[in-house]
Chains A and B, each alone.
Chain A
Amino acid sequence: MTTTVTTYDAGVQAEAVINAPAQRIFDFLTSPEKIPLVMPSLIENTNLPEPPLQEGSEFTYRYQMYGVILEGSWIVTALEAPTRYEARTTGAGDSLWKYSLTESGGQTTVALSVEYRTPQSALQRFQTAVVQTMNQREADVYMANLKMVLEMQDA
Chain B
Amino acid sequence: MARGVKIRLAFDTYKLSYRMLGDSLLALGGASLLLAITRNGVRPAVFGVAAALVGVWLRDMPSSVIMRSSDEVLDQVRRTLDLMSVGYNSDGDSVRIRSTGTIVRVQPLGPVALLTFQMSDPSSGRERYLARTLVSYQRFAQ
B-contacting residues of A (Cβ < 8 Å)?
33-34, 37, 43-44, 64, 67-73, 90-92, 127, 144-145, 148-149, 151-154
Task: Determine the interface band of chain B, counting residues with CB < 8 A from chain A.
Answer: 20 to 34
Tell me whether A70 and B9 are in contact in the complex, defined as CB-CB below 8 angstroms, given that A37-B133, A144-B125, A154-B85 are known contacts: no
**From residue A86, how far is it (CB to closest CB) to chain B in Å?**
21
Give B residues with C-beta under 8 Å from A.
1-10, 80, 83-87, 97-100, 125-126, 129-130, 133, 137, 140
CB pair B126–A148 under 8 Å, yes or no, is yes
Main secondary structure of the interface of B (DSSP, over half): mixed
> Which of B7, B83, B99, B140 has the most chain A CB atoms closer than 10 A to its own CB?
B7
- Contact partner, A153, options B10, B86, B125, B137, Cβ 8 Å: B86
A residues near B133, Cβ cutoff 8 Å? 37
Nearest-Cβ distance from residue A23 to partner chain B, whole angstroms: 14
B4 in complex: contacting residue of A37, A43, A73, A149, CB < 8 Å: A73
A149 touches B5 (CB 8 A): no
